[in-house]
Amino acid sequence: MARVKLVLPETFTFKTVLDVRVSEINYGNHVGNDRMVSLLHEARLRFLRSFGFGEFNIAGLGIMVTDLMVEFKSESFVGENLQFEVGVNDFNKYGCDFIYRVTCADEGRLVTLAKTGIVFFDYDERKIARIPKKFTDLVSSQKTLDSNNTSS
């Protein structure tokens, strides 16, 4: 079976830590795939907040996820602290990709690699919109941020 391969960015410019709660655990006694997607969503929101943005207010526009790829490398369990590193690449006129590397913060074990493709969306007009220059300028010039050391 052919596998999707994820190309990682040279650097991840944001990181945050989320603890695994019992509500993330499935019948296999590890983080469920649907719950990992929710954790990725939280990491993306924290990334956006580090710039003063929200998912529905990035220079007056919102975002919409257009595709998702998750590659599981190891299990994760209740009580583990997961470090989410986030980078942004593959910009086009309407959006970009958010790339994630998730590791167990206590062990350094790789848990997940993932990507969410997004487009900018004008929810008032109900149509795709051009990527805001303010977003690309801020994201492109960003130094590595740790959400635990910022006001987000």
| Angle made by CA atoms 20, 10, 13, in degrees to the nearest 5 | 50
For residue 113, which amino acid is it? L
What's the pLDDT tens digit per position in 91-138? Answer: 999 999 999 999 999 999 999 999 999 999 999 999 999 999 999 999
Of 8-12, 18-22, 91-95, the least confident: 8-12
The CATH code belonging to domain 14-140 is: 3.10.129.10
- Hunting for tokens 């190891």 — which residue is that? 74
Q: What is the pTM of this model?
A: 0.91
Is 50 exceeded by the pLDDT of residue 75? yes
Half-sphere exposure of 88 (CA within 13 A, CB side): 21
Using alpha carbons, select from 35, 15, 10, 13 the residue that is nearest to residue 25.
Answer: 35
Q: Take residue 34 and report the two structure tokens written for it.
A: 């649907």
